[in-house]
Structure 1
């Protein structure tokens, strides 16, 4: 076995080179605007299936950049995603990252109503008076409630990143978002997770810093 000797500072660069090379070998022709997001998700997961299952609404990357530049905040459904999203980069544009899942008031209300914390968290987020991007990597009930809040006129997201992982209502909840008319980045099927949600956010944030 021959190990490659690579400087720590070059590891990520080399990883992306390998991903790009293997995508070409697989015959994947991905739109140039979407490619950085697809590649960052593959970099996070080492799973090339995302090249086929990630779906994007029209002009969603441009819309997401515009929202972030206008000071959009990101709401996520796990503290893991919150930890993984580049808060320092988002703050350059006036944005913050929120996760309400562990809030005492959210836990109390969810228990009283016998609903998931994700549902109550989305309702709490809807009261924020700032442009909102939702990055959902765990709870399909969050996506369902987002769709309902939109229909009720209580929420108009700038973007919904719908990549929860799991088996119960996961596929269906993602399709609800695709059909909702909201700008979206969704991974069809059962795969996803908090790290994927964070990777998608970061791909957009990093593209903005490169443009500055």
Structure 2
């Protein structure tokens, strides 16, 4: 039983249901190769999707969880590819760590630039985030747009940005699997990805909520 307060459900009934759900996931997931902290992320993804195939599909850079926790403790921004991620994240949990979320996919200037360059809004949104200096040291959270992840890979590979963590979980059929494979080849930038076509904003939210819970538990242990 966790001693977390901020990152727990707000009622006893809610906490019991969530804890019982996690216990079922732990029992039915079978063997896995994840360490304890990585498993907290994976089981929340399974909990959010009821899909046990994520046991094995989720992959981590060796420093991914530690980098994510440090970024959260520092109040680093989270830049998402779509509004759904920002809406899905718990405001009280983010506020506890002073973390702000950002998305630019629907901004008029982003749309205009995408049309002018015949690119995608997701690409231009990531470029706008770079121009606003939100990507260096931030958490980049991508659950919908493979082109956003491809642009992040390009910018990191070109040395234009150095995010604290890239969460690359876009869902889809065109470039989704390929974008995540490329992200997993980054060596100096920590990443979390879901192999293949599966993914989605809900799973990114679950991963971030897992990091927030781990950050609170770590903070409690440190006193």
Note whether the superposition's TM-score is higher than 0.5. Answer: yes
Aligned-pair distance for 1:92? 2.5
Aligned-pair distance for 1:29? 4.5
Q: 2:206 aligns with which of 195, 199, 205?
A: 199
Partners of 1:87 and 1:97 within 8 A in 2: no
CA deviation profile, 1:17-60 (whole Å, cap 9, x unmatched): 1111112xx23343112111011000000001101110000121
Equivalent position of 1:168 in the other structure? 174
Q: Provide the rounded CA distance (Å) in 2 between the counterparts of 1:136 and 1:180.
A: 16
Equivalent position of 1:3 in the other structure? none
Aligned-pair distance for 1:151? 2.6
Q: Cα gap change, 1:28/1:151 in structure 2, threshold over 3 Å: closer, same or farther?
A: closer
2:35 is the alignment partner of 1:22: no
Q: 1:63-212 maps to which residues of 2 (within 5 A)?
A: 63-130=67-134, 131-181=137-187, 182-212=189-219
Aligned residues: CA RMSD: 1.6
2:55 is the alignment partner of 1:51: yes
Q: Provide the rounded CA distance (Å) in 2 between the counterparts of 1:21 and 1:151.
A: 40
SS class of match (1:83): helix
Structure 1's unaligned 5+ residue stretches are: 1-5
Q: Cα gap change, 1:206/1:8 in structure 2, threshold over 3 Å: closer, same or farther?
A: closer
Q: Provide the rounded CA distance (Å) in 2 between the counterparts of 1:165 and 1:57.
A: 20
Q: Provide the rounded CA distance (Å) in 2 between the counterparts of 1:19 and 1:103.
A: 39
Q: Provide the rounded CA distance (Å) in 1 between the counterparts of 2:89 and 2:183.
A: 22
Q: Provide the rounded CA distance (Å) in 1 between the counterparts of 2:176 and 2:88.
A: 22
Shifted more, 87-96 versus 113-122: the winner is 87-96
2:36 is the alignment partner of 1:32: yes
Partners of 1:89 and 1:209 within 8 A in 2: no
Partners of 1:76 and 1:82 within 8 A in 2: yes
Give aligned pairs, total.
205
Partners of 1:74 and 1:134 within 8 A in 2: yes
Q: Provide the rounded CA distance (Å) in 1 between the counterparts of 2:198 and 2:146.
A: 12
Partners of 1:77 and 1:100 within 8 A in 2: yes
TM-score by length of 2: 0.87
Q: Cα gap change, 1:58/1:9 in structure 2, threshold over 3 Å: closer, same or farther?
A: closer
Structure 2's unaligned 5+ residue stretches are: 1-11
Q: Provide the rounded CA distance (Å) in 2 between the counterparts of 1:70 and 1:128.
A: 18
SS class of match (2:37): coil
